[in-house]
Structure 1
Protein backbone atom coordinates (compact mmCIF):
# COMPACT_ATOMS: atom_id res chain seq x y z
CA UNK A 1 0.00 0.00 0.00
CA UNK A 2 1.29 3.47 -0.91
CA UNK A 3 0.93 6.05 1.87
CA UNK A 4 0.38 9.76 1.29
CA UNK A 5 0.66 12.99 3.23
CA UNK A 6 -1.42 15.76 1.63
CA UNK A 7 -0.63 19.45 2.16
CA UNK A 8 -3.64 21.39 0.92
CA UNK A 9 -6.59 23.38 2.18
CA UNK A 10 -9.32 21.29 3.80
CA UNK A 11 -11.66 21.26 0.80
CA UNK A 12 -9.01 20.01 -1.62
CA UNK A 13 -7.44 17.66 0.90
CA UNK A 14 -10.83 15.95 1.23
CA UNK A 15 -11.17 15.98 -2.58
CA UNK A 16 -7.76 14.27 -2.89
CA UNK A 17 -8.64 11.76 -0.17
CA UNK A 18 -11.94 10.90 -1.87
CA UNK A 19 -10.16 10.28 -5.18
CA UNK A 20 -7.30 8.35 -3.59
CA UNK A 21 -9.32 6.08 -1.31
CA UNK A 22 -11.21 4.48 -4.21
CA UNK A 23 -7.87 2.83 -4.98
CA UNK A 24 -7.15 0.14 -2.37
CA UNK A 25 -3.41 0.50 -2.92
CA UNK A 26 -3.38 4.20 -1.90
CA UNK A 27 -4.01 5.63 1.58
CA UNK A 28 -3.87 9.20 2.94
CA UNK A 29 -2.32 8.97 6.41
CA UNK A 30 -2.26 12.72 7.25
CA UNK A 31 -3.44 15.97 5.73
CA UNK A 32 -3.26 19.62 6.65
CA UNK A 33 -2.91 23.08 5.17
CA UNK A 34 0.24 24.15 7.01
CA UNK A 35 3.51 23.13 5.36
CA UNK A 36 5.43 23.94 8.54
CA UNK A 37 3.36 21.32 10.38
CA UNK A 38 3.40 18.83 7.51
CA UNK A 39 7.13 18.67 7.00
CA UNK A 40 7.96 17.34 10.49
CA UNK A 41 5.04 14.91 10.14
CA UNK A 42 6.54 13.64 6.89
CA UNK A 43 9.89 13.18 8.65
CA UNK A 44 8.25 11.00 11.29
CA UNK A 45 5.68 9.08 9.21
CA UNK A 46 7.95 8.69 6.15
CA UNK A 47 5.11 8.42 3.63
CA UNK A 48 5.73 7.13 0.15
CA UNK A 49 4.38 10.38 -1.33
CA UNK A 50 3.79 13.95 -0.16
CA UNK A 51 1.28 15.91 -2.25
CA UNK A 52 2.18 19.62 -2.00
CA UNK A 53 -0.64 21.89 -3.16
CA UNK A 54 1.06 24.96 -4.62
CA UNK A 55 -2.08 27.02 -3.98
CA UNK A 56 -1.30 26.61 -0.26
CA UNK A 57 2.44 25.94 -0.16
CA UNK A 58 4.11 28.78 -2.02
CA UNK A 59 7.53 28.19 -0.61
CA UNK A 60 10.41 26.70 -2.55
CA UNK A 61 12.09 26.06 0.80
CA UNK A 62 9.39 23.52 1.70
CA UNK A 63 10.36 21.30 -1.22
CA UNK A 64 14.08 21.64 -0.47
CA UNK A 65 13.51 20.83 3.22
CA UNK A 66 11.39 17.81 2.33
CA UNK A 67 13.95 16.53 -0.17
CA UNK A 68 16.70 16.83 2.46
CA UNK A 69 14.78 15.39 5.42
CA UNK A 70 12.90 12.56 3.67
CA UNK A 71 15.01 11.80 0.59
CA UNK A 72 13.15 8.58 -0.29
CA UNK A 73 9.74 10.27 -0.32
CA UNK A 74 8.28 11.15 -3.70
CA UNK A 75 6.74 14.62 -3.99
CA UNK A 76 3.75 15.45 -6.18
CA UNK A 77 3.54 19.18 -6.88
CA UNK A 78 -0.16 19.92 -7.24
CA UNK A 79 -0.82 23.26 -8.98
CA UNK A 80 -4.07 25.13 -9.65
CA UNK A 81 -5.20 25.65 -13.26
CA UNK A 82 -3.53 28.65 -14.85
CA UNK A 83 -0.44 28.40 -12.69
CA UNK A 84 2.73 27.07 -14.21
CA UNK A 85 3.95 23.84 -12.77
CA UNK A 86 7.56 24.30 -11.72
CA UNK A 87 10.14 22.14 -13.36
CA UNK A 88 11.19 20.39 -10.20
CA UNK A 89 14.61 18.88 -9.85
CA UNK A 90 15.09 15.29 -8.94
CA UNK A 91 13.77 11.92 -10.02
CA UNK A 92 11.26 11.69 -7.16
CA UNK A 93 9.22 14.77 -8.08
CA UNK A 94 6.02 14.52 -10.13
CA UNK A 95 3.55 17.18 -11.22
CA UNK A 96 -0.28 17.22 -11.30
CA UNK A 97 -3.07 19.75 -11.88
CA UNK A 98 -5.25 20.75 -8.92
CA UNK A 99 -8.79 19.47 -9.43
CA UNK A 100 -7.79 17.01 -12.18
CA UNK A 101 -8.24 13.50 -10.77
CA UNK A 102 -6.68 11.78 -13.78
CA UNK A 103 -3.57 13.97 -13.56
CA UNK A 104 -3.25 13.32 -9.83
CA UNK A 105 -3.65 9.55 -10.17
CA UNK A 106 -1.12 9.43 -13.04
CA UNK A 107 1.40 11.29 -10.86
CA UNK A 108 0.77 8.96 -7.93
CA UNK A 109 1.10 5.84 -10.06
CA UNK A 110 4.39 7.16 -11.45
CA UNK A 111 5.72 7.78 -7.94
Structure 2
Protein backbone atom coordinates (compact mmCIF):
# COMPACT_ATOMS: atom_id res chain seq x y z
CA UNK A 1 0.00 0.00 0.00
CA UNK A 2 1.25 3.48 -0.81
CA UNK A 3 2.06 5.91 1.97
CA UNK A 4 2.47 9.15 0.09
CA UNK A 5 0.08 11.87 -0.94
CA UNK A 6 1.74 11.82 -4.36
CA UNK A 7 0.54 8.27 -5.00
CA UNK A 8 -2.97 9.14 -3.93
CA UNK A 9 -3.14 12.27 -6.04
CA UNK A 10 -1.68 10.39 -9.01
CA UNK A 11 -4.44 7.80 -8.59
CA UNK A 12 -7.03 10.60 -8.47
CA UNK A 13 -5.63 12.24 -11.60
CA UNK A 14 -7.60 10.10 -14.05
CA UNK A 15 -11.35 10.74 -14.47
CA UNK A 16 -12.13 7.02 -14.79
CA UNK A 17 -10.53 6.31 -11.42
CA UNK A 18 -12.43 9.18 -9.82
CA UNK A 19 -15.66 7.79 -11.26
CA UNK A 20 -14.85 4.33 -9.90
CA UNK A 21 -14.40 5.84 -6.43
CA UNK A 22 -17.74 7.62 -6.76
CA UNK A 23 -19.41 4.39 -7.88
CA UNK A 24 -18.02 2.59 -4.82
CA UNK A 25 -19.30 5.15 -2.32
CA UNK A 26 -22.56 3.24 -1.88
CA UNK A 27 -20.90 -0.11 -1.27
CA UNK A 28 -18.80 -2.81 -2.82
CA UNK A 29 -19.08 -3.78 -6.46
CA UNK A 30 -17.77 -6.72 -8.46
CA UNK A 31 -15.06 -5.99 -11.00
CA UNK A 32 -17.44 -6.93 -13.81
CA UNK A 33 -20.08 -4.51 -12.52
CA UNK A 34 -17.52 -1.72 -12.44
CA UNK A 35 -16.26 -2.53 -15.93
CA UNK A 36 -19.83 -2.59 -17.25
CA UNK A 37 -20.24 1.08 -16.33
CA UNK A 38 -17.54 2.18 -18.77
CA UNK A 39 -17.00 2.04 -22.50
CA UNK A 40 -13.36 1.01 -22.09
CA UNK A 41 -12.15 -2.60 -22.05
CA UNK A 42 -12.14 -4.85 -18.99
CA UNK A 43 -8.33 -4.98 -18.86
CA UNK A 44 -8.18 -1.17 -18.88
CA UNK A 45 -10.59 -0.99 -15.93
CA UNK A 46 -8.56 -3.69 -14.21
CA UNK A 47 -5.44 -1.52 -14.54
CA UNK A 48 -7.33 1.45 -13.08
CA UNK A 49 -8.47 -0.70 -10.16
CA UNK A 50 -4.87 -1.79 -9.63
CA UNK A 51 -3.73 1.84 -9.41
CA UNK A 52 -6.46 2.59 -6.88
CA UNK A 53 -5.57 -0.52 -4.88
CA UNK A 54 -1.86 0.36 -4.87
CA UNK A 55 -2.72 3.84 -3.58
CA UNK A 56 -4.76 2.25 -0.79
CA UNK A 57 -8.01 3.85 -1.96
CA UNK A 58 -9.84 0.57 -2.60
CA UNK A 59 -9.66 -2.92 -1.17
CA UNK A 60 -10.56 -6.15 -2.85
CA UNK A 61 -11.90 -9.44 -1.62
CA UNK A 62 -12.64 -12.63 -3.46
CA UNK A 63 -16.07 -14.24 -3.41
CA UNK A 64 -15.82 -17.51 -5.34
CA UNK A 65 -14.80 -16.42 -8.84
CA UNK A 66 -15.67 -12.74 -8.36
CA UNK A 67 -13.45 -9.94 -7.11
CA UNK A 68 -15.36 -7.37 -5.05
CA UNK A 69 -14.00 -3.86 -4.57
CA UNK A 70 -14.71 -1.44 -1.71
CA UNK A 71 -13.83 2.18 -1.16
CA UNK A 72 -11.41 3.03 1.66
CA UNK A 73 -13.08 6.37 2.28
CA UNK A 74 -11.21 7.21 5.48
CA UNK A 75 -7.85 7.00 3.68
CA UNK A 76 -9.12 9.24 0.92
CA UNK A 77 -10.59 11.74 3.38
CA UNK A 78 -7.48 11.84 5.57
CA UNK A 79 -5.09 12.20 2.66
CA UNK A 80 -7.01 14.95 0.93
CA UNK A 81 -7.76 16.61 4.28
CA UNK A 82 -4.10 16.60 5.30
CA UNK A 83 -3.12 18.17 2.00
CA UNK A 84 -5.83 20.82 2.23
CA UNK A 85 -4.87 21.72 5.77
CA UNK A 86 -1.32 22.48 4.64
CA UNK A 87 -2.35 24.79 1.81
CA UNK A 88 -5.66 26.16 3.04
CA UNK A 89 -5.65 27.83 6.48
CA UNK A 90 -9.43 27.57 6.73
CA UNK A 91 -9.08 23.78 6.75
CA UNK A 92 -6.74 23.98 9.72
CA UNK A 93 -9.33 26.00 11.64
CA UNK A 94 -12.13 23.60 10.66
CA UNK A 95 -10.06 20.61 11.76
CA UNK A 96 -9.42 22.19 15.17
CA UNK A 97 -13.11 22.97 15.60
CA UNK A 98 -14.01 19.36 14.72
CA UNK A 99 -11.48 18.06 17.27
CA UNK A 100 -12.93 20.27 20.00
CA UNK A 101 -16.51 19.23 19.17
CA UNK A 102 -15.66 15.51 19.17
CA UNK A 103 -13.73 15.89 22.45
CA UNK A 104 -16.69 17.71 24.02
CA UNK A 105 -19.13 15.07 22.77
CA UNK A 106 -16.93 12.27 24.15
CA UNK A 107 -16.71 14.01 27.53
CA UNK A 108 -20.48 14.52 27.62
CA UNK A 109 -21.10 10.87 26.75
CA UNK A 110 -18.67 9.76 29.47
CA UNK A 111 -20.36 12.00 32.03
CA UNK A 112 -23.80 10.73 31.01
CA UNK A 113 -22.72 7.15 31.73
CA UNK A 114 -21.77 8.05 35.32
Q: TM-score, normalised by structure 2?
A: 0.25
More helix by share: 2
The structure whose Rg is larger is 2
